[in-house]
Amino acid sequence: RLCLNQTSVFSLSVYYTHLLWCSSWWGGVQMGPPDPILGVTEAFKKDTNPKKMNLGVGAYRDDQGKPFVLSCVRKAEAIIAAKQLDKEYLPIGGLAEFSKACAQLALGPENEVLKSSRSVTVQTISGTGSLRIGANFLARFHPGPHDVYLPKPSWGNHTPIFRDAGMQLKAYRYYEPSTCGFDFKGALDDISKIPEQSIILLHACAHNPTGVDPRPEQWKEIADIVKKRNLLVFFDMAYQGFASGDIDRDAWAVRHFIENGHNIVLSQSFAKNMGLYGERVGGFTVVCKDAEEAKRVESQLKILIRPIYSNPPVNGARIAATILNTPELRSLWLEEVHGMANRIIKMREQLVAGLKKNGSSHNWQHVIDQIGMFCFTGLKPEQVERLTKEFSVYMTKDGRISMAGVTSGNVGYLADAIHAVTK
């Protein structure tokens, strides 16, 4: 006997409708290509060669090739744990003591901008989140051309971030392949032709992917020409402290531009210099005309943030703030950052020494001249492919290697491999 009550009538009708219409909403969705940078690590993980090397993503490794948790971070975590803090929502703009310390780190605590409160800094989801908020802000409020000029080449994720925010991407010459160095003349030439009020993005230090930075005298000339063209400067500083080992030296360009009268916007990341990658710690700063303008800008940044993630995660920001605001931890941090930068510098020297020893006829000076986590080797795509296929050395197609993945234990192998594909 069939008993159909209301309940089963409904279920059946839904079920039969479903049967009649069994296709998917997503039939037309294509498979997205693997991320060019993060995809390298995926491939590396699958490789069974014991000598394999991951020189892809820019995450620091110690001389044993292991992830490095800074002591100052562990100490800060212990301090925070002892405080038994609650888990209430942060304000939309983030942890106030973090934002303040973040701005001071970049600008220097005595900076006139901070003293007159004419900037706003919001906590962001690391560097990516900062660039995204910045891009959205410019898309909504920048009255000049919505053209963002990136150095050629730039970090792979810059383009899709700005594009998705509705900006157009253009480029200025930057890297000179024939010298593996800075194309200063080309850069000045291109910048001098950028239409007024456009946006120019500058890597504050340790340019990614090339490791090629302008010298201070060159920065001065760039600042002058940018001023002449009346461009809005967007600084991306993801490696403060990590480049030279000295946080003030690495922030020199940012501070010079501000002194020179540019009201910049600035993205900062603490992923690398504090090893807080997965905690997503960053900041976005807008230097304004005065305190009143800064308040208006802050209110609009909050409007942009709220529909993306409401308010930022506390853990990493609290660690960073504790480190920056506790004198002993801050000193310890500066030492450890110096240590990381030094290890990278040493690996650069050892790699070049190894190549020379192998009898390489090429000039590898650029490996030492370049700065920061990355090295633009100058290797061509075919050579990169051989390195990966024959030697299990993983890097991005553009010939970029992360020096952080090089250790005293494997630098010899790397020198052999590079020599083999370039001789």
Partner 1 sequence: QGSTPRAISIVPQAAPVAVFKLTQDFNNDQFPNKVNLGVGAYRTDEGQPWVLPVVKKVEKIIVHDDRLNHEYLPILGLPEFRSSASKIVLGDNSPAILENRVGAVQCLGGTGALKIGAEFLRRFYNGSNNTKTPIYVSAPTWENHNAVFSSAGFEDVRPYRYWDAEKRGLDLAGFLGDLESCPEHSVFVLHACAHNPTGTDPTQEQWKQIAEVMMRRKLFAFFDSAYQGFASGSLEKDAWAVRYFVSSGFEMFCAQSFSKNFGLYNERVGNLTVVARDADNLKRVLSQMEKVVRITWSNPPSQGARIVTITLTSPELFSEWQENVKTMANRVLLMRSQLKAKLQALGTPGTWDHITDQIGMFSFTGLNPKQVEYLVKEKHIYLMASGRINMCGLTTKNIDYVAESIHEAVTKVQ
Q: Which of residues 234-273 bind partner 1 (CB under 8 A)?
A: 258, 261-263, 271
**Cα 394 from Cα 384, distance rounded (Å):** 8
Residue 125 is a binding residue for partner 1 (CB under 8 A): yes
Question: How near is the Cβ of 379 to partner 1 at its closest, in Å?
Answer: 25
- Write the interaction track for partner 1 spanning residues 215-234; mark x where CB under 8 A is met and - where it is not: ------------x--xxx--
Shortest Cβ distance from residue 91 to partner 1 (Å)? 8
Interface with partner 1 in residues 56-85 (CB under 8 A)? 57, 59, 67, 69, 73, 77-78, 81, 84
Active-site residue, selected from the candidate residues 183, 190, 213, 236:
236
88 touching partner 1, by CB under 8 A: yes
Bridge partners, 237 (sequence order)? 268
219 has catalytic annotation: no
152 binds partner 1 (CB under 8 A): no
Alpha helices for 275-359 (secondary structure H): 291-309, 314-325, 327-357
Closer to partner 1 at the Cβ: 121 or 377? 121
Between CA 419 and CA 357 the distance in angstroms is 10
What is the torsion angle, in degrees rounded to the nearest 10, for the CA atoms of residue 5, residue 10, residue 13 and residue 19?
A: -120
- Residue 134 near partner 1 by CB under 8 A: no
- Of 12-41, binders to partner 1 (CB under 8 A) are 13-15, 17-19, 21-32, 35, 38
Provide the β-strand partners of residue 123: 283
- Cα separation of 163 and 138, whole Å? 12
With b for 16 or more beta-carbon neighbours within 10 A and e for fewer, the 276-285 pattern comes to: bbebbbbbbb
Interaction between residue 3 and partner 1 (CB under 8 A): no
Q: What string marks each residue from 307 to 336 as x (binds partner 1 by CB under 8 A) or -?
A: xxxxxxxxxx--------------------
Using the rule CB under 8 A, is 291 a contact of partner 1? Answer: no
Q: Tell me whether strands 53-54 and 393-394 are parallel, antiparallel or unpaired.
A: parallel
Quick one: angle between helices 96-107 and 314-325, nearest 10? Answer: 50
Active site residues: 155, 236, 272
